[in-house]
Structure 1
Amino acid sequence: MHLRLRPDVDPTDLGDGTVLRDERTGRRWLLNRTGTQVLRGLLIGQDADRIAGELADRHRIPAEVARHDVATIVERLRGAALLESTR
């Protein structure tokens, strides 16, 4: 399943993170570097396991921790209705 930002979500790169603005509600979400890396991976079509593997390697953390972090970030973005499935 490929995920993308909803059309009414405007991302702004801050260099060390990303702000997502929901134009429907005016609410904003701030993603740190890890959240930004997860979002970027999702937007280019990477699956959660690949993103987690890259996080684990980059930050030298256990793969289980990285998988949990990725799942949590995706769950929160979907729960806030910022992401949608393309298939």
Structure 2
Amino acid sequence: MPLNLADGVSIAETDDGAVLLDERSGRYWRLNGSGARVLQGLLAGRGAREAAVEAAAGARVAPEQAEQDAAALLAKLRTAGLVTP
């Protein structure tokens, strides 16, 4: 099931990651480079594991740790209402 940004949520790339703006609440959410790459992968239809492995490519992070980090990010984005399945 593809992941989408929730209505009223926009994303802007920055030099070191991305920023999500929830226009409904006026809150900003900052993602570091890895988090931004994971989110872009999820929005492109990749699964959490695939998005995590791609985001961690070239980094000194074990694939298992990258997958756990991506799952935690996805859970936070869902809890905040920033993404929808």
| Global fold match (TM > 0.5) | yes
Identity of matched residues, %: 42
- SS of the equivalent of 1:58 reads coil
Between 35-44 and 10-19, the greater mean CA deviation after superposition: 10-19
How many corresponding residue pairs?
Answer: 85
Report the TM-score when normalising by structure 1: 0.89
User: What 5-or-longer segments of structure 1 have no aligned partner?
Assistant: none
- SS of the equivalent of 1:60 reads coil
**1:19 is aligned to 2:19:** yes
Report the TM-score when normalising by structure 2: 0.91
Provide runs of 4+ in structure 1 moved above 6 Å.
Answer: none
Amino acid paired to 1:82: L
Higher relative contact order (CA 8 A, sep 6+): 1
Q: Corresponding residue for 1:28?
A: 28
1:63: Cα distance to partner? Answer: 1.4
C-alpha RMSD of the superposition: 1.2
Between 51-60 and 76-85, the greater mean CA deviation after superposition: 51-60
**1:72 is aligned to 2:48:** no
1:19–1:57 distance in 2 versus 1, CA, 3 Å: closer
Distance 2:71 2:13 in 1: 22
